Structure 1
């Protein structure tokens, strides 16, 4: 093997004698040697042409050798520094730390690394970089390893994009000939742009998680306050009722507490997940920040692949909303004073509302009593108006009311209306019965099922009530259908038998104590709720 293949990784060693250069000379290709070594090398060579032992560049005639005075001055400074025997206390290299490239016989910790010299220096050997004019322009960084080529034992100086790796200058004319080769600075600039973009994305994600935590903490506080208020109002209301209602009071409180615990448990768990994710994001962001601050291009590019990307960050399912007990409290206040035989029906409705926290498309809703004026005004809608949710977009909601189609408002302004509540509110107050005379409200511009031949002045008779839809026989249109909320009563017709506790239009269900009805179950169950349509002695028909 030729002598130049066994060169050591020392910037100022002669590649022929492998020692610090003496009377250094620089040949036309830019490499430097001891004057005696290069002359002896050419004299012993059997080649007719002279060439550089390192890069193999040939010269038609033997170059004139002149002493490189500047390099000689640097080498002399190094020799003088190497002769200084004293080592400052605390400067010995610890295991795993970067050692000075020029200290021999003792391992001294490096204080700086030179990216131009590709060597590390202790405080003593670093001195020439501050005193020698030619070295003052070199770029000094914190101590770092100087990787070398495994094949040529040369410093890695350029980046091969074809093979995605750093190579030495000899590799360019060898294994990486005709490859896409760029400087480490160029490769870093390109990758730094990508890393900075990824860092900004991580920063945005971190801020978003912090905002979610803040919003969640606000929601938790509001949920606690709402639940506390609901419990207090429930206790004050139920304590004023008879002992029959006290049992239901405990039932309502228990359900409020259970739902509150469920909401807060979910919120607390999500907060912990968000905090863990935030910590991970901050740690990843800190890692990328440290890499961005490093001044060593090779270390930067080699560690770039290990940096996380935004796509690696799993998104957590966020808690869209927490429940509110406001509707429970309002229902309790409304419930106060109701008759005893309706108590169980109303309590069931309250419990159903307590578990209902989200409004969805298709739900029946109305404006909350606590809302003075909706954000987008009332329009033709009133507090008694009940509509169907058509679309939801974040906090915004679109509702089709009988009085106004496509009404626009906010979800926080609305409350859910169950079918049982709708029927109960209409029938318990004696609003509509089979046989009642009714007409379309003046506030309704166009009924949901259109006018037909009916007008605001038309008066018809209720033929049937099913759900929130009634069938009316008008002189202009027999079997006309419309929503209960679209109609108003003209004259109430009594159709309750004196001996019966029920009247037509009442909401009823089979008693829980009845195991098998007289005329069998059919498709009915204990949970089925129907409306009385006819009464005959002890027989009740309902739909």
Structure 2
């Protein structure tokens, strides 16, 4: 039985007897595919591209440049650098032109170092012979340094943009506050003028009404007399028709009738309208002086900054739910001190260290409070974010949500910045005043008796509730109620609930501070 005819896979010619194939199709396809891939990788260099230094025309596009050989290579000429052991150690980089410019013209060695003293590129021989006392680094390190410096400069400028934008926002808020204060003062003055104007018009109208009432009464009386006279005149005319003169005289009504008023001397008593406007303006001037003085006191700055900020005084009470288990809090929730007895059961809201927050929190506006620290050797006071870690406290600076002032020993004070900022005070404060402006990102500490500024945290960024914060160490710290500050030393305090005065201070027991 004859076999089926064979067909050539290339030319499709049929053979009844299977011939010997003269072309290996699989290998041919592999070679063709390889040529296509090689052609795609080895492209002829275009203008502006780096060409291979070892290709004859046409020159192919270089894939790498060698910093040791100072030559650029296409794919085929690069193979020795990838396979020959002696060439594998050469430093390859992305293809670049003018490799000769990377050689030191004096020593004919590659430029590998950067002199920061002279701001120039060096070879190793230059560094050893001519730049021995200079500071130099590798080109890679200098490049990284410049990149980092550039990023830092960009970051600084972006931060400055944010600061400028923040300043504009703060300016707008200040304008809004001052505008509100000024408009209220002007409204009060305008209302005073309007009230004086209304009184002036009312006075004139009342005087006119008084004259009008008098005139109406006299006119009514005159009308009554006219009616009476007209009636008598009618009766007399009827009698005149009679020829009987005796009858006329006996019955004719008396003319003029008795009881009539002599109107010849009657005059209206006119009110003196002249001078009413002058008196009204004089009264307005006096009222405006008084009103103007009062409004000026409201809008004018107090004598010192602390007095201005004390207007935002608030009454605070300590939150026993946040107190460390060894802190003792007075019944009026104004005093706190450390004790060696466990006062509370532990809970997630409590601090591991001897810290405590107030019940009151603030998320906008301004507030001020004072802490009695007289004769205390150690204490911390300030404000803290609601989300601070109360179990594992790594630090009391702004990085961890605290803005605090600390007295560490007799004369050693510092602000909790990162790192700490030491403070050198002329006198130990007996009362520390804490002022915070949430919108402006400001927390300031004062000596409340001398109004001296101790320290200010500025340009803070607040995004959540803030709580007044205390750490008494082994001392007794007392929150001073806003109502107890001398009225002679402060303006009217912000409205708030009345609180009890602090009770007698607790006596401390000798104990070491526990964490």
Query: TM-score, normalized by length of structure 2?
Result: 0.30
Q: Relative CO higher for 1 or 2, CA cutoff 8 Å, sep ≥ 6?
A: 2
Larger Rg computed on CA atoms:
2
Query: TM-score, normalized by length of structure 1?
Result: 0.29
